[in-house]
Structure 1
Amino acid sequence: MSERSSSPQDINSSKFATEVIPEIKNFSKFTTIDRLSEEDSPVVLFEEDGRSFLTSKFQFYSTIWERSRTFITLTSVAILIGCIAGFIQIFTETLVNWKTGYCARNWLLNKSFCCANIPESLDKRSLLFDKRDELQCLDEGLWVNWNGHILPFFMFFSLSIIFTSISTLLVKFVAPMATGSGISEIKTWVSGFEHLPEFLNSPTLIVKSIALPLTIASGLAVGKEGPSVHYATCCGYIVTKWLLKGELTYSSQFEYLTAASGAGVAVAFGAPIGGVLFGLEEISSSNSFNGSMLWKSYYVALIAVTTLKCINPFRNGKIILFNVTYDKNWKVLEIPVFILLGIFGGFYGQFVSKWNISYVHFRKKYLSSWPIQEVLVLTVMTALISYFNEFLRLDMTESMGILFHECTTNDNSSSFQHRLCLLDENTHVISFLRVFSSLSFATVIRMLLVIISYGAMIPAGIFVPSMAIGATFGRAISLLVERFICGPGVITPGAYAFLGAAATLTGITNLTLTVVVIMLELTGAFIYIIPTMIVVAITRVLLNSNHVDGIADQMILVNGFPYLDRAEDKYDDFMDKHTAEEIMETNMITLRETMYFSELEDLVYNVSGKDVSGFPIIKDGDENEPEKRCIGYILKHRLVKRLTAQSLPTTDSRRTIVHFSKKEYYNSDDEIDLSGITIISPVTAKIDTSASTLFCTFQRMGCKTIIIEKDGFLQGLITSKDIIKFERIKAREIYGPRYEYNEKLNEKVWSYLEYLTKLFA
Structure 2
Amino acid sequence: MKAHKKCMCWGNPEDYNSHDAAGSGVGAGLWRRVTCPSAGCGDGSHDRWLVVSSRGIPGLLSPLAGRAMANVAKMVSWSGREGEAEGQGEATPLLNGTGGGAAAPPRQLTPSSSSLRLGRMSYVDLDDEHEPEMDPPRAHPNEIPHSEKVLSLKYESLDYDNCENQLFLDEEKRIKHTAFRTVEIRRWVICAMIGILTGLVACFIDIVVEYIAGLKYKVVKGNIDKFTKTGGLSFSLLLWATLNASIVMVGAVIVAFIEPVAAGSGIPQIKCYLNGVKIPHVVRLKTLVVKVCGVIFSVVGGLAVGKEGPMIHSGAVIAAGISQGRSTSLKRDFKIFEYFRRDTEKRDFVSAGAAAGVSAAFGAPVGGVLFSLEEGASFWNQFLTWRIFFASMISTFTLNSILSIYKGNPWDLSSPGLINFGRFDSEKMGYTFQEIPIFIFMGVVGGVLGAMFNALNYWLTMFRIRYIHRPCLQVIEAMLVGAVTAAVAFVMIYTSADCQPLQGSGMAYSLQLFCPDGEYNSMAAAFFNTPEKSVVRLFHDPPGTYDPMTLGLFTLMYFFLACWTYGLTVSAGVFIPSLLIGAAWGRLFGISLSYMTSGWIWADPGKYALMGAAAQLGGIVRMTLSLTVIMMEATGNVTYGFPIMLVLMTAKIVGDYFVEGLYDMHIQLQSVPFLHWEAPVTSHSFTAREVMSTPVTSLRRIEKVGVIVDILSDTSSNHNGFPVVESIPGSDQAAGLRGLILRSQLIVLLKHKVFVERANLSLVQRRLKLKDFRDAYPRFPPIQSIHVSQDERECMMDLTEFMNPSPYTVPLEATLTRVYKLFRALGLRHLVVVDNHNQVVGLVTRKDLARYRLGKEGLEELPLAQT
**TM-score surpassing 0.5?**
yes
User: Residue 396 in 1 paired to residue 531 in 2?
Assistant: yes
Q: State the partner residue of 1:120.
A: none
- Residue aligning to 2:54: 13
Change (3 A) 1:702 1:67: closer
* 2:120 match: none
Instruction: Confirm or deny: 8 A CA contact 1:233 1:257 kept in the other structure.
Output: yes
- Structure 1 position 79 matched with structure 2 position 204: no
> Does structure 1 residue 298 correspond to structure 2 residue 389?
yes
Distance 1:375 1:702, change over 3 A: same
SS of 2:842's equivalent in the other structure is strand
Change (3 A) 1:581 1:258: same
Structure 2 distance, partners of 1:605, 1:76, is 39
Question: Residue in 2 aligned with 1:183?
Answer: 267
Letter in 1 for 2:644: T
TM-score, scaled to structure 2:
0.67
State the Cα distance separating 1:202 from its structure 2 match.
1.6
* 2:329 counterpart residue number: none
**What residue identity is the alignment partner of 1:636?**
R
Between stretches 225-234 and 628-637, larger displacement belongs to 628-637
User: Equivalences for 1:593-742 in 2 at 5 Å?
Assistant: 593-596=701-704, 598-606=705-713, 611-620=718-727, 627-648=734-755, 674-714=799-839, 716-728=841-853, 731=855
Tell me how far 1:515 sits from its aligned partner.
1.2
Which of 270, 275, 282 is equivalent to 2:368?
Answer: 275
Counterpart for residue 367 of structure 1: 468
1:584 equivalenced with 2:692 (yes/no): yes
Would the aligned equivalents of 1:23 and 1:561 in 2 still touch at CA under 8 Å? Answer: no
| Counterpart for residue 121 of structure 1 | none
TM-score by length of 1: 0.76
Counterpart-to-counterpart distance in 2, 1:305 and 1:146: 40
Separation in 2, partners of 1:305, 1:386: 34
The answer for the alignment partner of 1:564 in structure 2 is: 675
Matched positions, count: 638
How many angstroms apart in 2 are the aligned matches of 1:623 and 1:96? 80
Identify the match of residue 305 of structure 2 among 204, 222, 232: 222
Please state how far the C-alpha of 1:325 moved relative to its aligned partner: 3.8
Match of 1:199 among 277, 282, 290: 282
Q: One-letter code of the match for 1:323?
A: G
Contact 2:701 2:799 in 1 (8 A): no
Give me the whole-angstrom Cα distance separating, in 2, the residues matched to 1:726 and 1:455: 25
Q: How many angstroms apart in 2 are the aligned matches of 1:167 and 1:623?
A: 69
Q: 1:512 aligned to 624, 629, 642, which one?
A: 624
Measured after TM superposition, the shift of residue 43 of structure 1 is 7.8
- CA distance in 2 between partners of 1:652 and 1:73 (Å): 50
**Cα distance in 1 between the residues matched to 2:52 and 2:311:** 35
Distance (whole Å) between structure 1 residues aligned to residue 484 and residue 714 of structure 2 = 56
- Tell me by how many angstroms 1:690 deviates: 2.6
| Distance (whole Å) between structure 2 residues aligned to residue 582 and residue 636 of structure 1 | 25
The residue identity in structure 1 corresponding to 2:843 is I
Correspondence list, 1:377-388, <5 A: 377-387=480-490, 388=492
Structure 2 Cα separation of the partners of residues 251 and 699 of structure 1: 14
Query: CA, structure 1 residues 334+23, in 2 after alignment: closer, same or farther (shift >3 Å)?
Result: same
Secondary structure at the aligned position of 2:722 is classed as strand
Deviations 1:26-77 (A, max 9, x none): 7444322332344778989xxxxxxxxxxxxxxxxx9997674223322222
Deviations 1:187-213 (A, max 9, x none): 1111222222x2221221111111101
- Aligned partner of 2:317 in structure 1 is 234
CA offsets, 1:255-283, max 9 Å, x none?
Answer: 10011011111111222222222122113
After TM superposition, the structure 1 = structure 2 runs for residues 448-459 of structure 1, keeping only pairs within 5 Å, are: 448-459=560-571
Query: 1:641: Cα distance to partner?
Result: 1.6
Any conservation in 1 of the 2:431–2:602 contact (CA below 8 Å)? no
Greater shift after overlay, 307-316 or 358-367? 307-316
Note the alpha carbon deviations across 1:647-673, whole angstroms, 9 max, x for none.
5566967887999xxxxxxxxxx9965
User: What 5-or-longer segments of structure 1 have no aligned partner?
Assistant: 45-61, 104-137, 408-419, 423-433, 660-669, 739-761
SS in 2 for 1:688: coil
Q: Is the 8 A contact 2:541 2:606 kept in 1?
A: yes
Instruction: Find the residue that maps to 2:693 and give its secondary structure.
Output: coil
CA contact (8 A) 1:583 1:726 kept: no
**In the alignment, is the contact (CA less than 8 A) between 1:590 and 1:617 conserved in 2?**
yes
SS of equivalent to 1:577: coil
SS in 1 for 2:831: strand
Verify: 1:319 aligned to 2:454, yes or no. Answer: no
TM-aligned CA distance change 1:474 to 1:331, over 3 Å:
same
Structure 2 contact 684–815 (Cα < 8 Å) conserved:
yes
Cα shift at 1:361:
0.3
- 2:661 maps to what in 1? 550
- The correspondence of residues 113-512 of structure 1 with structure 2, limited to 5 A, is 147-149=226-228, 150=233, 153-196=237-280, 198-241=281-324, 242=326, 243-285=336-378, 288-312=379-403, 315=407, 317-319=413-415, 321-326=420-425, 327-369=428-470, 370-387=473-490, 388-389=492-493, 390=523, 391-405=526-540, 407=542, 420-421=543-544, 435-487=547-599, 489-512=601-624
Deviation at residue 23 of structure 1 after TM alignment: 4.3
SS at match of 2:338: coil
Read off the aligned partner of 2:301 and give its amino acid letter. Answer: S
> Contact 1:634–1:677 at 8 Å: present in 2 too?
yes
Q: Report the residue type matching 1:176 in the other structure.
A: P
Q: Which amino acid aligns with 2:54?
A: S
What residue in structure 2 maps to residue 521 of structure 1? 633
Which deviates the most, 529-538 or 512-521?
A: 529-538
TM-fit CA distance, 1:386? 2.0
Q: Distance in 2 between matches of 1:258 and 1:487?
A: 47
Paired position in structure 2 for 1:33: 158
Percent identity over the alignment is 25
Cα RMSD (Å): 3.7
Contact residue 723 and residue 840 of structure 2 kept, 8 A: no
Distance 1:617 1:469 in 2: 57
Which is further off, 336-345 or 71-80?
A: 71-80
> Structure 1 residue 484: deviation in Å?
1.6
Aligned to 1:562, the other structure's residue is in SS state: coil
Structure 1 residues 80 and 12, CA gap change in structure 2 (3 angstroms): farther
Measured at CA, do residues 147 and 654 of structure 1 come closer, stay the same or move farther in structure 2, by a change above 3 Å? farther
Letter in structure 1 aligned against 2:97: T
8 A Cα contact 1:324 1:405, kept in partner: no
| 1:612–1:636 Cα contact (<8 Å) kept | yes
Aligned residue number for residue 3 of structure 2: none
Query: Structure 1 pair 365/41, CA: closer, same or farther in 2 (3 Å)?
Result: farther
Give the residue type in structure 2 aligned to 1:377: L
